[in-house]
Structure 1
Amino acid sequence: MARRSVQFWRIEQLNGDALGRPFPARRVAEVLKNAQEAGVDRRFTSVDGTVLLAQAVALTPHPVVLLDRVRETNLPSVGDALGRRKPLPLAPGDHLLETTYFAFLKRNVIAVLTSGNGPRASRMGEYLGGMVGMEPSLVPVVREDVEEILARLEVSRFEFAIPAERLSGKLMEGEWADVLDSTSRLMTEGTFRISLTVGRSGKAEDKQRIRDRIQQLIDLFRRAGSVEHFDYVVAEGKDSLTGDREVVDLLKERFISHVEVDADVFNDPRKSVAEAIAILNRQARDNEAFFERTLPAITGSADSAQVPEIVAGGMAAVRGAMAAAAEDALEKQGGAGHELVRG
């Protein structure tokens, strides 16, 4: 088994303006599908040279789009058990694709199923800006019910990091004060990081005792009121209500759901898409009530007319063609006027 994360983002702006109506996600998926069926080149090259390629894989109940980072150079090698290396068995014209899955949900929320190497969420905005001329600005969905989440979290890990120059026992009380004060005498530069985990071995009752102790230390940590001095503070565990693995970011008070996936399934292109769609739909269903409770309602209907059909080269090609047409028209006008003068 392997673990993937599902991040939740919200489209807050479109092309720099506040978005107060539904984002036309279904139309985006439809034009991508039309381009796929027509064999249109959908690759887009970002300003930093990253090549992106998107395709629609579902329209209902939520539009789902996968975004690939296309790797043509610096490819990894294949090796056997003895470490003998050979090139990836790619046919001429093939590339390495590293994928992130995007599901467009209600209230302009996007659920993003990530992997270690796939494009980050903001790349979707770059891609849509380059291909259809509309660039969504994404902000993370914040968990306003962090207390409720922590109350039902069967914690397995608590971790924080703080720059050495900020280390002081005055930030905390009790056991944490002793830890920070002692560490401040040991290091004055760099970053101090500590991680408390339940561990994999031991009896169930022993693990529960450790879990309870970590929960007490988390409560003590949060009551100190000095969390803002830290660079990184997270609690991880299983949600006792949904069964999902969650990481609660105590600085930003937002969460990332972690899901266990079959590594063999996600290594199989024929099966991975169906599995990703199922995961995203389940996450949408499990969190719909939270979105309704914490996010503003989105009224009106999506403006599908904003999304043009995709052409090879995207908007750069469209603008280039328009500029060429305008220049040609000017030349013709100038030529006609010159002829009239000559006459």
Structure 2
Amino acid sequence: MARRSVQFWRIEQVNGDELIRPFPARRIAEVLRAAQAQGTDRHLRCADGTVLLAQAAALAPHPVLLLDRVRDSNLPSIGDSAGRRKPLPLEPGDHLLETSYFAFLPRNVIAVLTSGNGPRASRLGEYLGGMLGLEPGLVPVVREDVEEILTRLEVSRFEFALPAERLSGKLMEGEWADVLDSASRLMSEGTFRISLSVGRAGKAEDKQRIRDRIQQLIELFRRAGSVEHFDYVVAEGKDSVTGEREVVDLLKERFIAHIEVDADTFNDPAKSTAEAVAILNQQAKANQAFFARTLPGTVGAPDVDSIPEIVAGGLAIPGKTGAGTAAAGRIPMETAAEETGADHEPVRR
């Protein structure tokens, strides 16, 4: 057996605007399925060189997408019983695929079944931005009162720890990626721990500036989507309402389900997809009451007209007419990237 985690995120914005309607996930799944059936290239090269590839695994009861990180360099080796190393037996044109599974649930919740090397949740936003002109803003779903506590918390300390062998800038983004990458070069064994605190000395305005900066770094950390790889993550400070000292365990309070899966099943591409869909559907059912109690509902119908087709050499971009109907027109992919603000390009093979 192997341990996997299911993370829960909520789509709060699309292209910078608040999302009140249901996210058009089924339409996206249909577009990807049609592109795959037509043999249309769906690879996307991100700004950092990562290549992503998506496909639809299910349309109902919840749309499920597979998102692969495509690797054709720096590949691992395999070894026999005596430890002799040899290259992976890949045929010409084959690539290594590292997969995460995304299920789109009611209330704009996304359940993400992850593995150690599969793309993080934020990569889905990059893919949808580059391929379809969508930029969903994701926020983690947390347990009942964590968000409320953090909003009131006048933070004085933020601390986390993880085993040295897990140190990698790939776990985080921005400043945290630089910190973890640097740490990975310093140590390969033991535990890496970092603590940020306001300190006792200094003027009140200086302390507030430090406190604001720590709050920003906590928010970046919480949005990273890799919290389950850490052993210890806490924020400490004074509750501005009660005046009490609070210690918030972000690792335990983040809404993540840990499950045991059959490792052999997940090594089989055909079986792994069916098993992943079943796991995500089960998680959707098990947590339906929690989402209904803690998350806002949606209003109206999804905006399916805003989702273009994926066509060879570019996108069929729908444009809104005065009557509000969609008029599709093809434009080159380079122009599409400029108009949607995407800094990605498709990989043509």
Q: TM-score, normalised by structure 2?
A: 0.64
- Give, in angstroms, the shift of residue 301 of structure 1: 0.1
- Give, in angstroms, the shift of residue 297 of structure 1: 1.1
Higher helix share: 1
Matches within 5 A, 1:6-45: 6-45=6-45
User: Equivalent residue of 2:68, what SS?
Assistant: strand
- Runs of 4+ displaced beyond 6 Å: none
- Are 1:51 and 1:70, in contact at CA under 8 Å, matched by a contact in 2? yes
Paired positions, count: 241
- Are 1:130 and 1:314, in contact at CA under 8 Å, matched by a contact in 2? no
Give a deviation string over 1:252-296, Cα, whole Å, max 9, x none: x32210010000000000100010000000000000001111111
Look up the equivalent residue of 2:5 and give its one-letter code: S
Distance 1:165 1:64, change over 3 A: closer
- Are 2:315 and 2:333, in contact at CA under 8 Å, matched by a contact in 1? no
Q: C-alpha separation between the residues in 1 aligned to 2:139 and 2:65?
A: 19
Q: C-alpha separation between the residues in 1 aligned to 2:12 and 2:68?
A: 23
Counterpart residue number, 1:328: none
Q: C-alpha separation between the residues in 2 aligned to 1:267 and 1:165?
A: 40
User: Equivalent residue of 2:256, what SS?
Assistant: strand
Give a deviation string over 1:183-230, Cα, whole Å, max 9, x none: xxxxxxxxxxx989xxxxxxxxxxxxxxxxxxxxxxxxxxx83426xx
Distance 1:295 1:283, change over 3 A: same
- Give, in angstroms, the shift of residue 164 of structure 1: 6.3
Distance 1:95 1:322, change over 3 A: closer
Counterpart residue number, 2:80: 80
Q: C-alpha separation between the residues in 2 aligned to 1:312 and 1:118?
A: 27
Higher strand share: 2
- Are 2:160 and 2:194, in contact at CA under 8 Å, matched by a contact in 1? no
Counterpart residue number, 1:49: 49
Q: TM-score, normalised by structure 1?
A: 0.65
Matches within 5 A, 1:172-251: 225-227=245-247, 233=249, 249-250=251-252
Distance 1:165 1:106, change over 3 A: closer
Counterpart residue number, 2:274: 274
- Are 1:131 and 1:313, in contact at CA under 8 Å, matched by a contact in 2? no
Matches within 5 A, 1:106-145: 106-144=106-144
- Give, in angstroms, the shift of residue 323 of structure 1: 5.5
Q: C-alpha separation between the residues in 2 aligned to 1:287 and 1:99?
A: 23
- Are 1:132 and 1:314, in contact at CA under 8 Å, matched by a contact in 2? no
Q: C-alpha separation between the residues in 1 aligned to 2:5 and 2:198?
A: 31
Look up the equivalent residue of 2:140 and give its one-letter code: P
- Are 1:44 and 1:314, in contact at CA under 8 Å, matched by a contact in 2? no
- Give, in angstroms, the shift of residue 20 of structure 1: 0.9
Distance 1:321 1:4, change over 3 A: closer
- Give, in angstroms, the shift of residue 165 of structure 1: 7.8
User: Equivalent residue of 1:102, what SS?
Assistant: strand
Look up the equivalent residue of 1:320 and give its one-letter code: P
Q: C-alpha separation between the residues in 1 aligned to 2:50 and 2:261?
A: 27
Counterpart residue number, 1:298: 298
- Give, in angstroms, the shift of residue 83 of structure 1: 1.3
- Are 2:314 and 2:332, in contact at CA under 8 Å, matched by a contact in 1? no
Does residue 320 of the first structure (1) align with residue 340 of the second (2)?
Answer: no
Look up the equivalent residue of 1:225 and give its one-letter code: R
Look up the equivalent residue of 2:83 and give its one-letter code: G
Counterpart residue number, 2:153: none
Counterpart residue number, 1:220: none
Q: Which has the larger radius of gyration?
A: 1
Look up the equivalent residue of 1:227 and give its one-letter code: V
Q: C-alpha separation between the residues in 2 aligned to 1:195 and 1:51?
A: 30
Does residue 69 of the first structure (1) align with residue 89 of the second (2)?
Answer: no
- Give, in angstroms, the shift of residue 319 of structure 1: 4.6
Q: Which blocks of at least 5 consecutive residues in structure 1 are unaligned?
A: 147-158, 169-193, 197-223, 235-248, 325-343
Q: Which blocks of at least 5 consecutive residues in structure 2 are unaligned?
A: 147-158, 162-192, 200-229, 233-243, 318-329, 337-349
Identity %: 69
Q: C-alpha separation between the residues in 2 aligned to 1:160 and 1:124?
A: 26
Give a deviation string over 1:140-194, Cα, whole Å, max 9, x none: 0121167xxxxxxxxxxxx9757568699xxxxxxxxxxxxxxxxxxxxxxxxx9
Look up the equivalent residue of 1:114 and give its one-letter code: T
Counterpart residue number, 1:340: none
